[in-house]
Structure 1
Amino acid sequence: MPKPIGEITRGTTGHNRLRRADRWIAAAHGRLLRAADRPLVVDLGYGASHTTTLEMFLRLRRICPSVEVVGVEIDPARVAAARPYERPGLSFALGGFELPVARPPLLVRAFNVLRQYGEEQAWTYWAMLSERLAPGGVIVEGTCSEVGHRAVWAGLDRSGPVTLTLSARFDAFDRPSDLADRLPKTLIHRNVPGEPVHAFLRDFDHAWAISVPLRAYGSRQRWIAAAETLAATWPLAGRPPLGGRSRWRLGEITLPWSAVAPR
């Protein structure tokens, strides 16, 4: 068997760490999964425990009973520890970015995997994963805090990145730009003046600041108001935040990738 492509991660994981991303996947891509015959989902680099892969499987099964999930890990010991938890529709495999699965996946989730690589390598692995997708397939790649209260992820298809999503528990930050340390590797070093992602975070902080009167009604109302301000006034014309109030009320905001793409 060829050597898996990639390096072993720290493997940190825990219950509900990726709940925010799973919730978004179910909302954003549930229709895609339900429209497919036996859709295959890969959880790449699930870490030292099978927990987040099992949680993803159970959540996606609620919206698409035919979905199959494969957890892929580059560490043989982690794969061996996960295999006792296999069940119909859920399995674990040894591998890396080459995605050693029987057929092209319709969806790949890769969290806390690319932080250890450089920006150029991150772009390379994005392209490698995209090439392995089934037609119409998508990738959700991002990072989150240790307990999952702050997360940022990119949504990609075979053509490259399409969206960027910020998601946080309302007591996990002081201002939206606190999530900058969770930006994808392709953006985290671009958070400097002159780059679109820096302009977005600056404007989000401003919208959050001027929404402070709504703090009396709770941080959720303040976040919604800040998102509405961005949607109405953001200078990047034609590229407002996506999703609407139903997503914003969850502490989420999704942008077209074109609005934050590196210059």
Structure 2
Amino acid sequence: MRPVRPVGTVTRGTTGHNRLRRCDRWIAAVYGPLLRSARAGAAPLVVDLGYGASHTTTTELFTRLRRVCPTVEVVGVEISPERVAAAKPYEREGLTFVRGGFELPVPRPPMIVRAFNVLRQYGEAEAWEHWHRLRAGLHPSGVLVEGTCSEIGHRATWVALGADGPRTLTLAARFTGFERPSDLAERLPKTLIHRNVPGERIHAFLADWDRAWAACASFGAYGTRQRWIKAAELLSRDWPVEATPPTGGPGRWRLGELTLPWSSVSPRG
């Protein structure tokens, strides 16, 4: 049988320690129960797609998810054979690295696929196609977490998608990594980044968030964290910001996160 040719193209491979910590923390909190729900005898599988030039972020994901689900197995998937070869020495029980792309060359449908900084080099139409392809390869209860972040991870956004399509958009930032919330626009997913223009929902949302941020400036005297929380509370009066665990509420806001339903920011047309 001829091997399946990997689907996709090689990325720049930029990576680094803790670059994806914000997303990892969110996945563990929101989808830890999903991983633990796997039936006995079937270890939940997680794929880190396009991990880049180093094994680092895949290994960190494995370590963090093992804290919430000791049986989880993580597979790092990279299209570059050189990168896979470089990561192989870091394999251990439950953590492996294989060559592949969007076709997901894994032994069973994964419960979670994390794909970060992978789709930025594709066009918007291609990004939608790869969303569909990846969703089709998921476990029936699985989720795709696709996003992008800055080089050191101080600004990040990601979309969670299930069998029913996109579900939520999360924006996260280090409190010293921005001046106003709309600074995160440069890290929007490919399906939204070119939609940040008047008339689109994402543009209206970011404009309102900036206004809420300005209105809560006085809370900055107590720290940026308190200002973020108060701005989230104010913003939630007009937008369906997630306000209850595990995706929202003060417990998530104090970490520099904000999540809302995809339908509230989805592209028009």
**TM-score band w.r.t. shorter chain:** over 0.9
Select the residue among 135, 144, 152 that pairs with 1:130: 135
**Contact between 2:171 and 2:184, CA under 8 Å: does it hold in 1?**
yes
Amino acid at match of 2:242: P
Aligned to 1:89: 94
What is the TM-score with the length of structure 2 in the denominator? 0.95
2:47 partner SS? strand
Select the residue among 87, 93, 108 that pairs with 1:103: 108
Q: Cα offset for 1:241?
A: 3.3
Q: How does 1:59-208 map to 2 (within 5 A)?
A: 59-208=64-213
> Matches of 1:240 and 1:35 in 2, distance apart?
27
Deviation digits for residues 137-187 of structure 1 (CA, Å, limit 9, x no counterpart): 001100000000100000000121100000000000000000001000000
> Matches of 2:187 and 2:68 in 1, distance apart?
28
> Matches of 1:13 and 1:259 in 2, distance apart?
31
1:240 aligns with 2:245: no
Aligned to 2:222: 217
Aligned to 2:258: 253
1:110 partner SS? strand
Q: Cα offset for 1:82?
A: 0.2
Aligned to 2:4: 2
What's the RMSD between the two structures over aligned residues? 0.7
Deviation digits for residues 179-228 of structure 1 (CA, Å, limit 9, x no counterpart): 00100000000000010000000000000000000111000000000000
Structure 1 segments unaligned to the other structure (5+ residues)? none
> Matches of 1:198 and 1:105 in 2, distance apart?
33
1:154 partner SS? strand
Q: Cα offset for 1:25?
A: 0.1
**Contact between 2:241 and 2:258, CA under 8 Å: does it hold in 1?**
no
Runs (4+) of structure 1 exceeding 3 A deviation are: none
Select the residue among 12, 16, 19 that pairs with 1:17: 19
What is the TM-score with the length of structure 1 in the denominator? 0.97
